[in-house]
Amino acid sequence: GAGVSQSPSNKVTEKGKDVELRCDPISGHTALYWYRQSLGQGLEFLIYFQGNSAPDKSGLPSDRFSAERTGGSVSTLTIQRTQQEDSAVYLCASSFDRDREYEQYFGPGTRLTVT
Amino acid sequence: AQSVAQPEDQVNVAEGNPLTVKCTYSVSGNPYLFWYVQYPNRGLQFLLKYITGDNLVKGSYGFEAEFNKSQTSFHLKKPSALVSDSALYFCAVSGAGSYQLTFGKGTKLSVIP
């Protein structure tokens, strides 16, 4: 079946511009996660959605970052007024349910470069 | 707070030799432990997990991992390395009452022909 898809695969933007990154989770998966992977670093948790519950935004690094999930499926991560330190690979993952026994399935990521 | 340590940034092993990628963790309660692999320019792929039961867990591509509660470790192993195993490996943990995964910084495995 189809896996997690993300678009665009690469995004180059100028400092100060806004960007939107999209994630399509695996059909039927109720939990959706966004992570940021910087060069040489591990994965940094950003935000988590579970069904219709309020998202866990505890990992968002600043108020320039926001995310939404429409209809319990597609999610968009928005970064406003981008800065060079926002350059990273943004990974989306989904899992069957939020219970911690379920493994997460990752998309290929969006590589964001802020010039 | 939960944490994961992967003490080796890089592991080099000759093709055909056994490989070990180390992982130690710190969580509250019983840990759920995962290994993921990332090939160049790809997302992470799930390899295996420990939830409960047998301490030796077998996963994809011939990999296995051993849960050691006393040493709080979950090392990844493979009896005979392949060049195609060269990739970045991440260990992750989730503690009791948490639905978040905490990842280690990753270990780059290079299998030398």
Mean pLDDT within A58-75: 91
pLDDT tier, A68 (very low <50, low <70, confident <90, very high otherwise):
very high
Contact B106 A42 (CB under 8 A): yes
Q: Report d(CA A68, CA A72) in Å as an integer.
A: 10
Share of chain A above pLDDT 70, in %: 95
Average pLDDT, rounded, for chain B: 93
Mean pLDDT within B25-50: 91
Contact A42 B100 (CB under 8 A): no
Take residue B47 and report the two structure tokens written for it. Answer: 């390899």
Share of chain B above pLDDT 90, in %: 80
Position A98 scores a pLDDT of: 65
Partner-chain residue, chosen from B43, B99, B105, that has the shortest CB–CB distance to A109 = B43
Mean pLDDT within A26-32: 90
Take residue A67 and report the two structure tokens written for it. Answer: 């995310």
Chain A positions touching B104 (Cβ under 8 A) are: 42
Contact B99 A48 (CB under 8 A): yes
Assess whether pLDDT exceeds 70 at residue B18.
yes
Contact A31 B34 (CB under 8 A): no
Q: What is the helix, strand, coil percentage profile of chain B, to 5? A: 5, 50, 45
Judge whether B90 and B101 are in contact, CB under 8 Å: no
